[in-house]
Each structure stands twice: as C-alpha cells, then as structure tokens.
Amino acid sequence: METSCQTFSDMEFESLYSAQEGPELNPTFFDEGNYTPIEEILAFVESRTQVVDVKSLLPQLSLNGRVLEEDMDIYLRSKGCSSSSLKEALKSPLHYLISTEEKEIRQDKSHFNLGTFCHTAFLEPEKFDALAVEPEGGALNSVDGAKILVNFWEDQAANISNDILITAYARTIDSGLSMDKLAGLKFYVTELRKLCGKISVDKTSYAIVKLIKKNYYRYGDGIIPELLKGAVPELSMYGTDEETGLPVKMRPDSLQIEENIGCNAIISFKTTSADSVSKMQYDAAKYMYHLSEGMYSEVAESITGRKFTAVICIMLQTVIPYLPVVFLYSPEDIANGKYRYRTALRNVKQAMAKNYWPGFDVHAEEGHRGVINMNLPEWSLREELPQTIDV
C-alpha cells in the first residue's frame, strides 16, 4: 500500500512515467505536450484584449458535476473525498475515517489572522483596503471610549455611504437600546463595523498588509493580478470519480480559463514562513501540495470537460520581508500528484468494500498483527567521536 513517506529509486521512478503503459493503465503517465509552458502563458497575457468573467460560465462548466459559489461551511458539510482527506488516506484508512467522520476542533477565527486575510486579498485585491486602525482611547468598555469609536466609524461610513449610518442607527433603535447608554453605543459601533465591511487591526498588522499589498503589485512587474483577472475565487466543485465511483469534491483557490491566460489552469495560494525558494519547494513536497493540485486538475477536467494544462502556485511569506513567489508546477510533479490521488482513492474504496479501517498497523507485514519492524534512518548509525575528559 502506498504511503506518504514512500520513496522510489531512479529506475522505479522512471518506470512510473513509462509512456508505454499509457494513461489508462498508469495514472502517473504524462505527455509534456499536454502542459502549457510559462512562456506561452505570459505571451497570451501580454497580448490579450479582453477578459472573460469565469462566473458567467459556471452553468457551462458544470458539465459532469456541479461548479458553484457557496459558503465554505456548506462545502465542509458536503459529502465527498477531498484532497485533505485523501492525504490522510495515504497514512492509513483510519486516518481517513477519522478526518471525515469525527468532529474536529475548529480554529478560532475571531481574531485577525494575517495568512487568512492575505489569502482572500490576493484573490480579491480590493480587500487590501478593508483594514482600519481604530484611534487610541477607543474602547467598548466605557462610554467615553465607545464615543471615540462612534466618531471614527461614522466617518468611515460617511466616506462609503450615508445609508450605512441610517441603517446602523435604525437597527440600534429597533433593538430597544439607547444611544445614551454603553450597551447602545456598543451595538451601534458593532453594526457600523459590519456594514462598513472593514476589519479593525492594530498598527503593526496594518503596516504589514500595506507592505504585502506593495509586494503583490510589484512582483514580476504585476504578473499576479494579471494571472488572476476574470478568475473566480474558491468555487466549490462536486463530481464522481469514474474508476471508483466515489464522490469527490474540491475547492481550488482560483479557477482560471484559457480565454484569459491561454490555458485552463488551477491557481493555488499558500502562506509560508520559509525564507528561501528552495525551502518553499521542500515544504510543498512535505505537505503534498502536488496531490491536491493533481486531484484538482483531474477532477476539473472531468467536471468541466476542459483540458487543464497548468497549475500555478502563489506563495506568500508571513514573515519579514513578506514577499510573494509564483511557481508553475512541472508536468512530472502534477503526474506524481495524480498518482498519489489515484492511490488514495483506491485505498479508500478498498477499505469501504471490506468495511475495515486499520490505522498505522496497516504498515505491518501480513500476519504480524500490527507489529512493525523498526528501521532507524541511516544517520542514526553515524560514529560517535571519543571524548577527552581531563582533570
């Protein structure tokens, strides 16, 4: 059974991609002619005269499944094999079962998260301007502090639309609260914040996002927004795997089409604390991003009937100097990802058929009842240098 830590010799790896076996028998088969090089994408972007809104094509893209805009919570509750659950399936069937059936503790998102915010802003750059720094002394624990916030948010609202002021005030009065009391002021400020669509952050976070916005537009002479023009962020896609019959679902960060960049492409966004390009590539392999990208390409082709010939990954440092990097996956890496996706699906199908969900014991030899032979890595055999202990 394939595991996430398995490695291959050069000869074995070459055999995985043997063109003689063909794509039907070998899911890692690839044909470089089916992948679009970066030069062609850039040439198309630089010469295009119009941009097509992918949103207008959603009915056409739902050829063999569903492609739609929906809230993330709805997607998470929907049945289907996702890339995250299939990564767990490569560890063991039980990993998969727990990831799909057990309630997970969700991260508290009540506080500002730089990575989460930038994920949205890179895909919808107008969100870069959705931050605000509240004035010193403003607080909702006193009448005086609340009044400072009222003045601040009323100015913010007035710059957008006076209707915001009217709506926020009406909701406060309708709630039965008095604007002369702290409870009423707190409710009013909360409504103003909500209606303004802005996020309150501290000065440091505001400065960081301002720098990230600059880096977003100056990277590659503005190539990031050019690649994303017309694309729709985070579409939910549902289909059925033809081989296993399993329902599959995915939610790529962005789906781009050939009308806009010369090829149909999956565009992903990742945040990283890596300080070099090589470390980013190492982490991409470590977290099996290529499984997700391979799955997205294969499922998108099945659902839309379009050939997806490129996968672009935008990574952003969440540490100084907060730089973005744009990667184009090689055909070999996407074929490798498709292979791991296919292996994971088969593992899940087999476990379902037998209704048997072993954990790490699946890696033990047959008949050993889960007892695994310990094989320490080679570096554990290194020589220990003698110590000189003198008085």
Whether residue 310 is found in the same domain as residue 239: yes
256 lies in a domain?
yes
380 lies in a domain?
no
pLDDT > 90: percent of the chain? 61
Whether residue 138 is found in the same domain as residue 82: no
Whether residue 192 is found in the same domain as residue 254: no
Range scoring the smallest mean pLDDT among 16-20, 177-181, 285-289, 320-324 = 16-20
Whether residue 184 is found in the same domain as residue 318: no
Strand partners, 326: 314
Q: Which residue has the higher pLDDT, 140 or 239?
A: 239
Whether residue 153 is found in the same domain as residue 98: no
3 lies in a domain?
no
**Tens digit of each residue's pLDDT (9 = 90 or more) over 169-192:** 899 989 998 888 999 999 998 989
Work out the pLDDT band at 330, boundaries 50, 70, 90: very high
This prediction's pTM: 0.80
pLDDT at 30: 55
Q: How many domains does the chain have?
A: 2
48 lies in a domain?
yes
Residue 141 to residues 120, 132, 138, 200: CA-CA distances in angstroms? 31, 20, 9, 16
Whether residue 183 is found in the same domain as residue 57: no
Whether residue 240 is found in the same domain as residue 350: yes
Task: At 142, list the tokens.
Answer: 């006193």
Task: At 53, list the tokens.
Answer: 């809104």
**Tens digit of each residue's pLDDT (9 = 90 or more) over 101-123:** 865 545 555 567 888 888 888 88
205 lies in a domain?
no
Give me the CATH number covering residue 70.
Answer: 3.90.320.10
Whether residue 173 is found in the same domain as residue 234: no
Residue 233 to residues 56, 81, 261: CA-CA distances in angstroms? 13, 20, 16
pLDDT > 70: percent of the chain? 89
**Tens digit of each residue's pLDDT (9 = 90 or more) over 223-273:** 999 999 999 999 999 999 999 999 999 999 999 999 999 999 999 999 999
Q: Which range marks the domain in which residue 150 is found?
A: 134-200
195 lies in a domain?
yes
253 lies in a domain?
yes
Whether residue 157 is found in the same domain as residue 85: no
pLDDT at 108: 52
Task: At 38, list the tokens.
Answer: 């970066």
Residue 351 to residues 66, 345, 361: CA-CA distances in angstroms? 27, 10, 14
Is the pLDDT score of 11 beyond 50? no
Work out the pLDDT band at 2, boundaries 50, 70, 90: very low
299 lies in a domain?
yes
Whether residue 239 is found in the same domain as residue 334: yes
Task: At 170, list the tokens.
Answer: 């009406």
- HEC string for 30-92: CCHHHCCCHHHHHHHHHHCCCCCCHHHHHHHHCCCCEEECCCHHHHHHCCCECHHHHHHHCCC
Whether residue 237 is found in the same domain as residue 340: yes
pLDDT at 388: 85
Is the pLDDT score of 64 beyond 90? yes
Whether residue 188 is found in the same domain as residue 294: no
